[in-house]
């Protein structure tokens, strides 16, 4: 029950963050979606043994959180939640790749550990960029931007419905779970029979609720298209935003910034 309530609260917190009035919030959603896609592709295009070259990309989430007044602690918690799933996949790399890459005195670091670290850093960057995008734009704005960028309308509408009515599903699940707790007489845990009954009742109640929502939407003239009260325009600010960040990402991708800084420092010292 607490887990369901916490999940609903997290989704609502993201929606509240997306209602900000900063300059980044007011940009057209298409510009932010395009920049995020370029960022993710740039991060994923590195080789599996690249680690140091990925760190300069942290400038993007840092700048976006600062300009958008986003709470760094909240974003960090969302990223940390994903890390265990990434570790479950990346932890097997050292078992597969035993090639020695770095020798630090008596200790040797194999390619498996290097690629494991690379996967973790990429995950932090890409997941963080996606969370920041939702926090600055809202899922509704993202779906509308994807549709304007060429995504099939049916797919965009399905994504938007999935997000909007996940609140309905979690609220129904919360009520069902609370009812079970009140009737369990203090017993903890959930038997297989109780779990099956709970899920089946939740499915039936969700199905009935979906039918009522569908009828209400048809009665209001819904034709599969969402209209915006204050549509935004892709203007000069958006073009400058996309070009500037894309140029930065391409420069960081083509130039090994840590190596360049190290070489410059060594030249200054010598």
State the pLDDT at residue 1: 47
**Domain locations in the chain?**
2-152+233-263, 165-221
**35 closest CA partner among 10, 12, 67:** 67
Instruction: Determine contact, residues 93/85, Cβ cutoff 8 Å.
Output: no
pLDDT tens digits for 173-189? 777 777 777 776 666 65
pLDDT digits (tens, 9 = 90+) for 219-267: 888 777 766 655 667 888 889 999 999 999 999 998 888 778 877 887 8
Distance CA 47, CA 115 (A): 9
Phi, psi for 165 (deg, rounded to 5)? -95, 5
In order along its 270 residues, the chain shows pLDDT tens digits of 455 555 556 666 777 888 888 889 889 889 999 999 999 999 999 888 888 889 999 999 999 999 999 888 888 888 888 888 888 888 888 787 777 777 666 777 777 888 888 899 999 999 999 999 989 988 888 888 888 888 888 888 888 877 777 777 777 777 777 777 777 666 665 566 667 777 777 778 777 877 888 888 888 887 777 666 556 678 888 899 999 999 999 999 988 887 788 778 878 876
Cα separations (Å) of 118 from 84, 126, 162?
15, 12, 32
Can you give the pLDDT at residue 34?
Answer: 94
């Amino acid at each position: 029950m607490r887990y369901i309530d916490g999940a609903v609260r997290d989704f609502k917190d993201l929606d509240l963050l997306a209602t900000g009035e900063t300059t980044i919030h007011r940009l057209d959603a298409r510009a932010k979606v395009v920049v995020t896609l370029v960022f993710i592709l740039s991060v994923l295009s590195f080789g599996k043994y690249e680690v140091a070259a990925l760190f300069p990309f942290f400038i993007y989430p840092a700048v976006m959180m600062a300009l958008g007044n986003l709470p760094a602690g909240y974003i960090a918690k969302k990223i940390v939640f994903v890390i265990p799933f990434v570790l479950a996949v990346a932890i097997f790399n050292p078992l597969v790749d035993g090639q020695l890459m770095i020798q630090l005195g008596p200790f040797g670091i194999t390619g498996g550990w290097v690629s494991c670290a690379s996967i973790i850093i990429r995950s932090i960057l890409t997941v963080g960029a996606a969370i920041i995008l939702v926090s600055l734009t809202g899922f509704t704005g993202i779906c509308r931007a994807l549709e304007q960028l060429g995504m099939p309308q049916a797919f965009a509408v399905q994504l938007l419905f999935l997000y909007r009515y996940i609140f309905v599903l979690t609220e129904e699940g919360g009520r069902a779970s609370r009812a079970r707790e009140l009737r369990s007489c203090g017993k903890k845990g959930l038997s297989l029979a109780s779990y099956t009954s709970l899920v089946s009742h939740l499915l039936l109640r969700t199905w009935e609720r979906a039918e009522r929502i569908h009828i209400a939407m048809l009665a209001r003239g819904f034709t599969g298209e969402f209209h915006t009260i204050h549509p935004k325009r892709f203007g000069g600010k958006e073009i400058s935003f996309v070009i500037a960040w894309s140029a930065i990402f391409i420069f960081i991708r083509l130039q090994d910034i840590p190596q360049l800084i190290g070489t410059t420092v060594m030249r200054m010292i010598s």
